[in-house]
Amino acid sequence: MSGECHDEVCITCSDQLLAMVVSDVDVPARIARGTIDGADVEVSIDLIDGVTAGEVLLCHGGVALQRGLPLEVGA
Amino acid sequence: MKFADEFRDADLARALGARIAAESGDKHWKIMEVCGGHTHTIFKYGIEDLLPSNVELVHGPGCPVCVIPMGRLDDGIAVAHEPGVIFTCFGDLMRVPGSTGSLLDAKAAGADVRMVYSPLDALKIAQQNPDRRVVFYAIGFETTAPSTALTLMRAKAEGIRNLFVFCNHVTIIPPMKAILDSPDLKLDGFLGPGHVSTVVGIRPFEFVTNTYGKPVVVVGFEPLDILQGVHMIITQIHEGRCEVENQYKRVVHDDGNPKALEVLSRVFKLRSHFEWRGLGFISQSALELQDEFADYDAEKVFSVPGVRVADPKACQCGEVLKGVLKPWECKVFGTACTPETPIGTCMVSSEGACAAYYNFGRYSRARERERVLASGEHSNGNGNGHANGAVAEHDLQPIPVQAR
């Protein structure tokens, strides 16, 4: 997953989940693309079934771990 | 989460703080936040200043960088110096001091050390460099371990043979048990780790309520999440309840993520024991690769020194990680040990209690110092109630102990 560490925090060391709005899903490759804080990112969706464009995924270390609420990205 | 303004409302936070003050009575409450992310939030938003002085937040061992012992880091640096190796790791780890330097120092000395955001990035590097051996130094709790597991499964499925994982993944339950068994610290309850619980769920924490009689509230990472978690613990105790509650229901499901747990059990098994900085060896507290993935195990493929290295005498990270000392009570806090020149791991990561105090906690520190001086008590290592006593140069050096 591309992305910037922010707030002087290493996003992976700090166990953070980052919210990503899904723009498209590549089912054969098991990846979803979207944006986190405005940056284009690509995450594995091996651990979440039935991901569709428009929903929010909570991601860590390049992997979506959970679905999120729109609230999580300020929508 | 960023932009979750609803959970950062200052008026609501003050109102919740006032409610906690009204309901906490005269008792001195000690509540441990297990996760380093919580520690960071507490200091960034000044949560302690919204709480009454009788409600004390104790900062636990939930920063994965902070609990890595120096010897394990030396092992990683030794691998990074192996010919032909591309060594990858997360950002904070690069600055953690080993006994003779950090990974950044190794990079400056010529080792090919690269920062990645995901182990999947390390896999890409391995694919792009088939003639090189790519090592990923894996750290983190159950939140991070699934990405390592998925990476190894992909590497195996795609026949990638030049990727290796130096596994330092740890699990959160055993250190909580070690802390509860420690005679040093008497806690009233725990703020449970929100994002670890996204993977493991809330049920693994039931031993804390059932065996130790301490309430646990799994909380989120915004200021109101933490304040509400504190209030829920106090309410439980007032009502005579002792339960695992889930304040972070908008993210954490009670059963966690079963697919993630399945992936973890396929790729990892529990180590018989693992050394934690400050807590010593804790049985079944870390992960190693299953035999099926032995060919990807850097510890089996590379020769690692395996030397245990004790922290410098002056460093009191261990006591800080157990919550026995406040960071500012350490002898070298803010003087010899700063985020720019860390001696201990707790000063490296922003989730480390020392870095959090240093970056955000000066006001709280001053308030605590006034309280300690007024009460005449002292708990710091230099024995005079003041932080930052003089330290001899040899006390700043790491101490080789023995081969693991």
Cβ-based neighbours of B111, under 8 Å, separated by 6 or more: B77, B80, B81, B85, B87, B103
Residue A9 scores a pLDDT above 80: no
Distance from B271 to chain A by nearest Cα, in Å? Answer: 21
Closest partner residue to A71 among B6, B40, B359, by Cβ?
B6
Question: Are A60 and B37 within 8 A, CB to CB?
Answer: no
Residue A75 scores a pLDDT above 60: no
pLDDT in tens, B31-68: 999 888 898 889 889 899 899 999 999 888 878 888 88
pLDDT in tens, B331-375: 888 888 888 888 887 887 777 888 888 888 665 666 666 666 666
Q: B137, B143, B163, B141: which is closest to B151 by C-alpha?
A: B163
The more confident residue out of B40 and B115 is: B115
CB distance from B260 to chain A under 8 Å? yes
Residues B169 and A15: beta-carbon distance below 8 Å: no
- pLDDT on residue B161: 97
CB distance from B119 to chain A under 8 Å? yes
Q: Which residue has the tokens 């059932």?
A: B210
CATH topology of domain A18-70: SH3 type barrels. (2.30.30)
Enter the tokens of residue B252.
């954490």
Question: Are B257 and A65 within 8 A, CB to CB?
Answer: yes
Band (B397; pLDDT cuts 50, 70, 90): low
Mean pLDDT of chain A: 80
Residue B258 scores a pLDDT above 90: yes
Residue B23 scores a pLDDT above 90: yes
Q: Report chain A residues whose CB lies below 8 A from the CB of B195.
A: 15-17, 60, 65
Q: For an interface test with B, give the residue of A36, A41, A47 to mutate (most B CBs within 10 A).
A: A47
Residue B2 scores a pLDDT above 50: no
Angle at which helices B119-128 and B145-157 cross, to 10°: 30
The more confident residue out of B166 and B332 is: B166
Indicate the pTM of the whole model: 0.86
Residues B359 and B348: beta-carbon distance below 8 Å: no
- pLDDT on residue B22: 96
- Separation of alpha carbons B145 and B138, rounded Å: 8
Q: Report chain B residues whose CB lies below 8 A from the CB of A7.
A: 44, 350
ipTM: 0.84
Distance from A26 to chain B by nearest Cα, in Å? Answer: 16
Residues B261 and B274: beta-carbon distance below 8 Å: no
Average pLDDT of span B258-273 = 97
Q: Which stretch of DSSP H or E encloses residue B219? A: strand B216-219
Q: Report chain A residues whose CB lies below 8 A from the CB of B196.
A: 15
Distance from B377 to chain A by nearest Cα, in Å? Answer: 34
Mean pLDDT of chain B: 88
Q: A67, A73, A68, A63: which is closest to A1 by C-alpha?
A: A63
**pLDDT > 90: percent of chain B:** 59
Count CA atoms within 13 Å of residue B389 on its CB side. Answer: 15
Question: Are B37 and A15 within 8 A, CB to CB?
Answer: yes
Question: Are A10 and B90 within 8 A, CB to CB?
Answer: yes
Which stretches of B220-375 are DSSP H helices?
223-238, 258-267, 298-301, 317-321, 353-360, 362-375
Closest partner residue to B143 among A3, A60, A62, by Cβ?
A60
Question: Are B93 and A13 within 8 A, CB to CB?
Answer: yes
Q: B54, B29, B61, B33: which is closest to B45 by C-alpha?
A: B33
Per-residue exposure over A8-19, b if at least 16 CB sit within 10 Å of its own CB, e if not: ebbbbbbbbbbb
Band (B145; pLDDT cuts 50, 70, 90): very high
- pLDDT on residue B64: 83
User: What residues does each domain of chain A span?
Assistant: 18-70
